[in-house]
Amino acid sequence: MDKRRARLEQWARGIRATADYHLTPASADASFRRYFRFSDAAGSCIVMDAPPEHEDSAPFLRVAADLRTAGLHVPEVLAADLEQGFILLSDLGTQTYLDALTHGDASRAEALYHDAITALVRMQRDYPDASSLPSYDRDLLLSEMALFRDWYLVRHLGLGLSADEQALFDEAEAVLCDNALAQPRVAVHRDYHSRNLMVSEPNPGVLDFQDAVFGPLSYDLVSLLRDCYITWPRSMQQAWLREYLLQARATGLCEADDRQFQRWFDLMGVQRHLKAAGIFARLNYRDGKPGYLDDIPRTLAYVMAVCNDYTELAGLREFLITRAGVAP
């Protein structure tokens, strides 16, 4: 057993005041955090291990409290030791949306996504003082897209970009940033997708929200409907987009017409998916997590689908086909 796990186990055992328990891995994510399920006679809870030299857990505690205030089903913080990087949380169950939809009954999708959309609108409407969150500004948007150049194109594919190609990316990224910054701003989870939504009661349970920001209205909807880990037919994506718009307009979140919102949504997706492809490559080379490479083709397929529909992204489309080998 590694030393951190031994310390975490001792800490959790002390909080629960029990000597009869089981500690088993619950999940890991794309950061340095790990999660364990602590089970004893009183039930089960989750222990988060977030090494403080790599992870600042204070935002997790703040955002968890604000999401609960907004009425979302997030883990309750039962105990925390930020100096050690240990947090004890209520257990939202064992089945993610992804598990339920890929290893269970896919016919559940309509009900699950209805719940996820309703919760998303609730978060955007009721998050207390969303403007106090870090701003999803131009610098952050650009730094995220730089991950695609640095880690996917250069590191993974071994491409050297010419000055003209660098300029092409600069122009495309400016279009994507302008689109993001033109939208109404709300609380943004940033990873609102099938791996971070739990099938629970009330549904959904929401995880991995510590990187929340104040940013574009369409961002989390893109994360949900154009998920890097599961693909839905365009007809289903569009039906769920319309369901979101009905709820968002009813609560005053969105006054844009259908065409304007579709553009916001599509171009926001390109920004997110370029970032995600870069992160997946980085997870392989920097963090030794090669499994994420399997998600890159799905992620870039979303990018190509949008590039096919928007003339201002024609140069990016051509580069991805001819230089990066992405299927048109």
Give the N- to C-terminal CA distance of the chain in Å, as an integer.
Answer: 48
Q: What is the reported pLDDT for 26?
A: 87
Q: Which long-range contacts (CB under 8 A, 24 or more apart) does 151-156 make?
A: 151/278, 151/279, 151/281, 151/282, 151/285, 152/277, 152/278, 152/280, 152/281, 152/296, 152/324, 153/324, 155/281, 155/282, 155/285, 156/281, 156/284, 156/285
What is the per-residue pLDDT for 227? 98
pLDDT digits (tens, 9 = 90+) for 124-148: 999 999 999 999 999 999 999 999 9
Residue 28 and residue 47 in contact, taking contact as beta carbons nearer than 8 Å: no
Domains of the chain, CATH where assigned: 3-90 (3.30.200.20), 97-322 (3.90.1200.10)
Q: Tens of pLDDT along 161-207?
A: 999 999 999 999 999 999 999 999 999 999 999 999 999 999 999 99
User: What pLDDT is attached to residue 30?
Assistant: 58
27-70 tens-digit pLDDT: 766 578 899 999 988 899 999 999 999 989 999 999 999 999 99
Identify the pLDDT of residue 246: 98
* pLDDT of 312 above 90: yes
Residue 52 has a pLDDT of 93
Q: In the predicted model, what is the mean pLDDT of residues 64-79?
A: 97
